[in-house]
Amino acid sequence: MQITDAIILWLVGFIVTLGFAVLFNVPKKALMSVSVIGAFGLLLRGVMKADGVILELATLCGSLFIGLAGFWQARRINTPRLVFTITGIIAMVPGVPAYEMLLYFRNYDVLQGMQSGFKVALITGAIAGGLSLARALTELEWRTVEEHADD
């Protein structure tokens, strides 16, 4: 990966995250940090992928980064963490494979469709795994399943 590719990828991540942050009604004070965090997460994933790391692991690391950075910013700006995490990972969500799967199925190309479907499942799982890992590292209540009060 060349440095220009990296800069373009960062800018793409920034613009995509900013755009979706606006669509998700993110408060104005959090807009900039959300976009920067999302951009660096996408860049981390892109750089690792370019170096030959499998996409799912790269995605996990990217979303782990977003989860941790989101935690830090959430404490700084005093905003719930989901504003940073759910919006930050949006540039990594596998949108094209998801509807591609259905288009392939429509063309009776079941094999390709299944491939796209598993891609979606694995990448989404990796994103959620990274976010959950970041939470488990930083929040007490996420280490255990809540005990339901019974009487």
Partner 1 sequence: MNLYHNSENSNMDRFSKSFPVTGLIDALMLLLAWAYLHITHSLTVQKDAFMLIATIISVFAYLCLLYARNIWSSHIVFTIYAITLTLRSLLLCLPMMINQPINIWLFSFFIPIILIQLIMTPEKTKGGYAFIAIIICFLIFFHPNFLTASHTLWKPQIAQMIYVFTLLTQAGVFLGAYVQDPNPSFIRIPSGAQPAVTGKTLTSGEMALALGLTMRVGRMMLESGAASFRTEQAMQRVAAALGVGRMETYLTPNGIVGSAYSGQEHRTQVARISRLSVAMNRVTALENYTHHLAPDTHPEEIRQFLSNLEGEGAAYSKMVYVFAAGTACGALAVVLGGGIWEIIAAGVGAGISQMLRIKLTEMRMNPFLLTTLCSSLATAVCLLLVVVIHPVHPKAAIAASVLFLVPGVPLVTSIVDLSRLDILPGVNRGMLALMLFIGIAIGMLVILGLTGYNLF
86 in Cβ contact with 135 (< 8 Å)? no
Give the SS3 label for residue 27. Answer: coil
Residue 60 contacts partner 1 per CB under 8 A: no
Beta carbon of residue 90, minimum distance to partner 1 (angstroms, whole number)? 5
Q: Radius of gyration (Cα) for the chain, nearest Å?
A: 17
Residue 36 contacts partner 1 per CB under 8 A: no
Would you give the distance in Å from CA 140 to the centre of its chain?
22
DSSP code of residue 81: T
Size of the site for partner 1 (CB under 8 A): 75
For residues 44-53, one letter each, b for 16 or more C-beta atoms within 10 angstroms of the residue's C-beta and e for the rest, the string is bbbbbbeeee
In the set 33, 38, 59, 87, which binds partner 1 (CB under 8 A)? 87
* 3-23 helix and 28-50 helix, angle to the nearest 10 degrees: 140
In the set 38, 59, 69, 119, which binds partner 1 (CB under 8 A)? 69
In the set 8, 54, 110, 114, which binds partner 1 (CB under 8 A)? 8
Beta carbon of residue 35, minimum distance to partner 1 (angstroms, whole number)? 11
Residue 79 contacts partner 1 per CB under 8 A: yes
Residue 25 contacts partner 1 per CB under 8 A: yes
**Binding to partner 1 in span 113-142, by CB under 8 A:** 124-125, 127-129, 131-132, 137-141
Residue 99 contacts partner 1 per CB under 8 A: yes
CA–CA separation, 113 vs 124, rounded Å?
16
